[in-house]
Amino acid sequence: MHRPSLRLPSWLPVDGYILALAGTVALAAALPASGPAATAAEGTSTGAVALLFFLYGARLSTREAMAGLRHWRLHLTVLACTFVIFPLLGLAARGLVPYVLPPALYTGLLFLCLVPSTIQSSIAFTSLARGNVAAAICAGSFSSIVGIVATPLLAALVLRSGGAGFSAGALLSIGGQLLLPFVAGQLLRRWIGGFLTRHKKVLGHVDRGSILLVVYTAFSAGMVQGIWHQVSPLRLLCLLGVEAVLLGVMLTGTSYGAKKLGFAREDRVAITFAGSKKSLAAGLPMASVLFGAHAGLAVLPLMLFHQMQLMVCAVLAKRYARSAAEAVGETGAAEGHDARAAAGEEADTEAGAVVGGARR
């Protein structure tokens, strides 16, 4: 099976798209949109989010996704990790407020625990680790689909502060901006799916640009309202420490739990990577709808967690690959791709990997 190629220059310490995200945040800090410019940016961002989810729906292969249902135990395990265990850990972290985390950052941490899993980077790491790539494709796809509905509903249940206005109107807004475009993309996929596949690289820039616009709009609103004065460097370090513990618990739990449930090694690899990760590409647009002007601090934990999970999982995937090579008597360490580029590939329309990857 073809393995996704994820390469970056060896001298680059982080993925290029993460640098673009950081640059966008810096731009919003130096030149935040205000007044009419903020209104225009917000309207454009809303349209970009709708376009993003339309492209997700248009690229998702329904036939391949339905075929993946045969491995229902694995998919239920990943969904349980993503939408049950993660949220429970997020709720347990409430005891850290206000001594370790301020309320605003805790709200972002809890939102992080509610968003769907990744697709593209889960595929890349599973492939590198010689796991069940087809299962990773389907598990990530199902998580993204379920997340369109589950994430807003869970947020309505567990979030009570941080500027998130949850009401019937807010849920209808989410449906109009996220779910309806996704369904429209699925309905039109028969006619436009081939075009999107042929122009995947060009449209990937549209996806990335849309996410950068969402980030700029969210952080601009935060700068205008002065919410950044609520967070000190020490608090940010504490947030990184909490997220490191959260990632470690999920990686250990998914690996050990999948083994106790009797899954084969290849399936355990897929569960470990799909069940322990969170999607930046899906989470950012959802946060812009759920939190509005307060989305800046709400998405900061997700952005930090995203980069952390890529760096840690890259090392872990290479260890899995070496173990697999040694188990079958191969000589030398297994050669792997540089998985640090998973963030850029993921933002290049995560759901696009379903069509290309599954057919391979």
- pLDDT for res 222: 72
Greater confidence (77 vs 222) lies with 77
In a domain, 259, yes or no: yes
In a domain, 8, yes or no: no
Greater confidence (77 vs 133) lies with 77
| Residue pLDDT, tens place only, 77-113 | 999 999 999 999 999 999 999 899 988 899 999 999 9
Enter the DSSP assignment of 132.
-
- pLDDT for res 30: 87
In a domain, 359, yes or no: no
In a domain, 11, yes or no: no
Decide if pLDDT at 305 tops 90.
Answer: yes
Count of alpha carbons within 13 angstroms of residue 128, beta-carbon side = 28
Range 162-170 average pLDDT: 53
Question: Token match 């449930």: residue?
Answer: 261
Decide if pLDDT at 24 tops 90.
Answer: no
Contact 278, 117 (CB under 8 A): yes
Range 138-147 average pLDDT: 86
CATH number, position 55 = 1.20.1530.20
* Residue 78, domain extent: 16-326+337-354
Neighbours of 212 (CB within 10 A): 20
Q: pLDDT band for 329, please (50, 70, 90 cuts).
A: low
Range 336-343 average pLDDT: 46
Range 132-156 average pLDDT: 85
Torsion of CA 91, 103, 116, 213, to 10 degrees: 180
What are the angstrom distances between the C-alpha of 212 and each of 20, 284, 315?
8, 9, 27
Greater confidence (275 vs 204) lies with 275
In a domain, 180, yes or no: yes
Decide if pLDDT at 8 tops 80.
Answer: no
Range 161-176 average pLDDT: 58
Q: What CA–CA distance (Å, rounded) separates 277 from 81?
A: 10
pLDDT, averaged across the chain: 79
Class of residue 249 by CB neighbours under 10 A (exposed 0-12, middle 13-18, buried 19+): middle
Q: Which of 35-44, 88-97, 178-187, 286-295 has the lowest mean pLDDT?
A: 286-295
Question: Token match 């709009």: residue?
Answer: 217
In a domain, 322, yes or no: yes
Neighbours of 315 (CB within 10 A): 10
- pLDDT for res 276: 95
Which secondary-structure segment (H or E) carries 296?
Answer: helix 295-327
- pLDDT for res 6: 44
Range 242-259 average pLDDT: 96
* Number of separate domains in the chain: 1
- pLDDT for res 332: 45
Sign of CA dihedral 174, 178, 182, 188: positive
- pLDDT for res 254: 96
Residue 280 corresponds to which tokens in the numbers above?
């930046």
Residues in the chain: 360
